[in-house]
Amino acid sequence: MSWLHIKPLTISIMATATKTSAKTIAKAPKAQPVNSGKTPAAKAVLASAKSAGTASAGKTAAAKAKKSPAAAAAITTEFDSFLIDELKDIYWAEKHLVKALPKMRKAATSSQLAMAFEKHTADTEQHIKLIEQAFELLGKKAQAKKCEAMAGLIAEAQGIIEDTESGTLIRDAGLILAAQKVEHYEIATYGTLRTLASHGGKTEVAALLEQILRNEKETDAALTQVAESFVNEQAAQE
């Protein structure tokens, strides 16, 4: 399957999949001029686009197949390679978030928010295990690839801690803001990956991703509840 085949699917899920869609589109349109191009330059673009499409998803399925017979059975298309590449991204994100959440818990003023962060630290440990299961189902060893978006969101949370006074509810309002940005990022990512896995016939992987997605949504709702129950109102009076 080529990137051109993937593109219509990607567009269909853009509404809930900003990050992954943007990445995919950034890779896919390189082939667009080729469809109408008749010049040698256009042909060169085609060759380049095919090469880029393969490279962006990591090593080719054939190269992987040489390494492991199990992988040969499991990884059959560039679509699978793309899914695995994106799993590496969110795997990195979760592994770094699980280290950041305890710092957010310690920084929180209210016990309610501290408890929410403590619970989600445990949730996130579980997400890491579920992603590892997804890698296993795809015949791959779990591997992380730096997620620039999550690195930025974690840095933003750290910035809020530095910019607010401890013991204030403004601090909690800021931490909730930072945490909800993280949850929304995760919701977008898991929503997309779940859909991609489902369309690729990876129903067990899709079920794991759906399980994580549900928890991220619950966490987002729990944070809203803490904010609306008292944090926002009291923060505004400080």
Binding site for Fe ion (CB under 5 A): 124, 127, 186, 216
Closest CB to Fe ion belongs to which residue? 127
- Nearest distance, CB of residue 211 and Fe ion, angstroms: 11
Instruction: Give yes or no for a contact between 179 and 154, defined as CB atoms under 8 angstroms apart.
Output: no
CB atoms within 10 A of CB 34: 18
Smallest gap from residue 26 Cβ to Fe ion (A):
24
> Which residue carries 């686009």 as its tokens?
49
* Identity of the residue, 187 or 235, whose beta carbon is nearer to Fe ion in the bound complex: 187
Cβ closest to Fe ion, residue 84 vs residue 222: 222
User: C-beta of 206: minimal distance to Fe ion in Å?
Assistant: 16
CB 97 within 8 A of CB 182: yes
CA dihedral sign of residues 207, 80, 21, 36: negative
- Judged on CB neighbours under 10 Å (0-12, 13-18, 19+), 35 is exposed
Which lies closer to Fe ion via its Cβ, residue 80 or residue 186?
Answer: 186
Between 78 and 86, name the residue whose CB sits nearer to Fe ion. 86
The torsion angles phi and psi of 82, rounded to 5 degrees, stand at -65, -45
